[in-house]
A = this chain, B = another copy of it.
Amino acid sequence: MARRRGNPLALAVLALLFERPMHPYEMASTMRARRKEESIKLNYGSLYSVVDGLTKHGLIEAVGVLREGRRPERTVYELTEPGRLELFDWLSELVSTPAREYTSFEAGLSLLPVLLPEEAVRLLEERVLRLEQQLHMDEALWEVTAKQGLPRLLLIEWEYKRMLRRAELDWVRGLVDELREGAFEGLDYWRIWHERCSAGLEPPGLEAAGYGAANSAGSTGGDDPEAPAT
C-alpha cells in the first residue's frame, strides 16, 4: 500500500494494459512502434522489475502463460481495478502538477562561471548547432510519421518537445549574442574570479567588480548568498 510513484514506465505499463492484456515484451514493442520510448525511458531490465512491482502491489495480475510454437513462454498480464484507479490518479497528477525536475543543461548553466567566457561562448555555439540538427531530424521524422495517418493526439508529446527545443534554441542564441558583443554585465568580474581560482587564490568577493553592498548591509535580512563564511 501507499506505493512510491517512481518510474513513469510503470505508468506506461498500466496505460498499455488499459487497452488490452499483454505480455511484457509486447508492451515494449508497442511502445517502440508508437514512438513512446522517446518520452518514457524504456529498457528491459526496468520493464520486468516494474511489472514485478506492480504485480506485488496488486495493480496488475498475470492471467496466463502462452506458448506459441515452441517460443519461450510469455506471461500475459491484465489490469486490476486498483490498477485502473492508480492509472487515472497517477496520470492526472503528472498532467496537472508541474514537477520540479533537473536537466543537465540547467546544471551546466549553473556552473558556467567555471569556464572562461570565450570557452563558454564556443560551447554554447556548438549547442546551437546541435539543437538545430536535432530540430531538423525531429521535423523530418515527424512528417514521415504524421503522413502515416496518425492523429495529432497520438503525437502530442512531440509537439511539446519540439516547441521546447525551439524555445531553448532561441534563448541560447540570444545569450551567445549578448556574450559576444560584451553586452553581458559582469564579464570583467567573471574573468577576474576565474583567474584567481585557477591560480589557487581565494576568489574575490562581489565588490571586485563594482557589485557593492551585497552582503555588507544585511538589508534583506534573510540568508546571504555568496557568503564568505570562511
Q: A110-B157, A214-B149 are in contact. Are A144 and B225 (CB under 8 A)?
A: yes
Query: Nearest B residue to A137 by beta-carbon distance?
Result: B229
Cβ of A2 < 8 Å from any Cβ of B?
no
Residues of B within 8 A of A153 (CB): 112-113, 184, 186, 189-190
Assess whether A94 is in contact with B107, with CB atoms less than 8 Å apart: yes
A39 CA to B105 CA, complexed, in Å: 9
A223 CA to B163 CA, complexed, in Å: 26
A151 CA to B175 CA, complexed, in Å: 15
Within A98-148, the residues touching B (CB, 8 Å) are 98-99, 101-115, 119-120, 123-124, 126-127, 130-131, 134, 137, 141, 144-145, 147-148
Assess whether A220 is in contact with B185, with CB atoms less than 8 Å apart: no
Cβ of A1 < 8 Å from any Cβ of B?
no
Query: Nearest B residue to A35 by beta-carbon distance?
Result: B225
Partner of A160, one of B15, B36, B148, B171: B171
A175 CA to B225 CA, complexed, in Å: 37
Assess whether A114 is in contact with B95, with CB atoms less than 8 Å apart: no
Q: A157-B106, A184-B153, A212-B149 are in contact. Are A98 and B111 (CB under 8 A)?
A: no
A151 CA to B18 CA, complexed, in Å: 52
Residues of B within 8 A of A221 (CB): 29
A66 CA to B155 CA, complexed, in Å: 57
Cβ of A19 < 8 Å from any Cβ of B?
yes
A residues sitting closer than 8 Å to B (CB atoms) are: 8, 11-12, 15, 18-20, 26, 29-30, 33-36, 39-41, 87-88, 91-92, 94-99, 101-115, 119-120, 123-124, 126-127, 130-131, 134, 137, 141, 144-145, 147-154, 156-157, 159-161, 163-165, 167-168, 171, 175, 184-186, 189-190, 197, 202-203, 206, 209, 211-215, 219-227, 229
Would you mind naming 19 contact pairs between A and B with Cβ atoms under 8 Å apart? A15-B111, A19-B197, A33-B225, A88-B115, A91-B115, A92-B119, A95-B120, A96-B126, A96-B130, A98-B105, A99-B103, A101-B104, A106-B161, A141-B226, A148-B219, A148-B220, A148-B224, A156-B175, A164-B164
